[in-house]
């Protein structure tokens, strides 16, 4: 007897079939006395938020080699100048040396001009350097600082593209490229709809980054 195939047009939107399947499997495992393995994340997460008087930057402290945590207390917030700092994700050596080089160049710039550098100057130096190497420098950066024009926050990608945003986060994993953490973005959007404005408080900014 020939099999009959019925055409089913694709359905738009999200499919939650796997959620129901996972719930059934979890209940079955619980009856047998087992626990499902939890997802493990070894990538870097860096974030920044603009508030009314300045910038809040945050980063985790884990340095990994594949699935192995090589250093539990790695500093990922780098000094650029007294008024500018930068969070780095990606290859540790690349982020360290890139930020050190730009910090040195900005110090020479400050000695030449006699004033603190502007955040946009650091952003321009970083993006031009990364674009020159076409992504071979594995450094994804969140640059933040305060100058005479106010607080500024930038995300800088390894290929040299940049965005200026009121809040930003970047994630680096071994299995995927540098991407925005959508959970953080959604959380920040909800907060911004209700409370974002010129009087955005530091306590809320710290809570959002933490």
Boundaries of domain holding 52: 44-209
What would the pLDDT profile of 16-48 be if each residue is shown by its tens digit?
778 888 888 888 888 888 887 776 666 788 989
Q: Looking at residue 81, what is its pLDDT?
A: 97
Structure tokens belonging to residue 139: 């450094």
What are phi and psi for residue 148, nearest 5 degrees? -65, -20
Contact 202, 76 (CB under 8 A): no
Question: Which one is predicted more confidently, 193 or 102?
Answer: 102
Residue 98, burial from CB neighbour count under 10 angstroms (0-12, 13-18, 19+)? buried
Residue 204, burial from CB neighbour count under 10 angstroms (0-12, 13-18, 19+)? middle
The CATH number that applies at residue 86 is 3.60.20.10
Enter the pTM of the model.
Answer: 0.74
Any domain includes 103: yes
% of the chain at pLDDT higher than 70: 81
Catalytic residues: 44
Structure tokens belonging to residue 109: 């710039």
Q: Looking at residue 41, what is its pLDDT?
A: 61
Lowest mean pLDDT among 30-39, 75-84, 112-121: 30-39
Any domain includes 130: yes
Look at the chain and report how many structural domains it folds into: 1
Any domain includes 14: no
């Amino acid at each position: 007897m020939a099999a009959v195939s019925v055409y089913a047009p694709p359905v738009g939107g999200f499919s939650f079939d796997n959620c129901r399947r996972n719930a059934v499997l979890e209940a079955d495992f619980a009856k047998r006395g087992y626990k499902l393995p939890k997802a493990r994340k070894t990538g870097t997460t860096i974030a920044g938020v603009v508030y009314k008087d300045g910038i809040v930057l945050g980063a985790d402290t884990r340095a990994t080699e594949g699935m192995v945590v090589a250093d539990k207390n790695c500093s990922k917030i780098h000094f650029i100048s007294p008024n500018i700092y930068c969070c780095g994700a990606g290859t540790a050596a690349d982020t360290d040396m890139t930020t050190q080089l730009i910090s040195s160049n900005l110090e020479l710039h400050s000695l030449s001009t006699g004033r603190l550098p502007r955040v946009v100057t650091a952003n321009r130096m970083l993006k031009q350097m990364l674009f020159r190497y076409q992504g071979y420098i594995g450094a994804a950066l969140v640059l933040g600082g305060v100058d005479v024009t106010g607080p500024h926050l930038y995300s800088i990608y390894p290929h040299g593209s940049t965005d200026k945003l009121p809040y930003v986060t970047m994630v680096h994993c071994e299995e995927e490229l540098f991407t925005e953490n959508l959970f953080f973005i959604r959380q920040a959007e909800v907060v911004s709809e209700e409370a974002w404005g010129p009087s955005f408080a530091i306590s809320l900014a710290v809570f959002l980054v933490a």
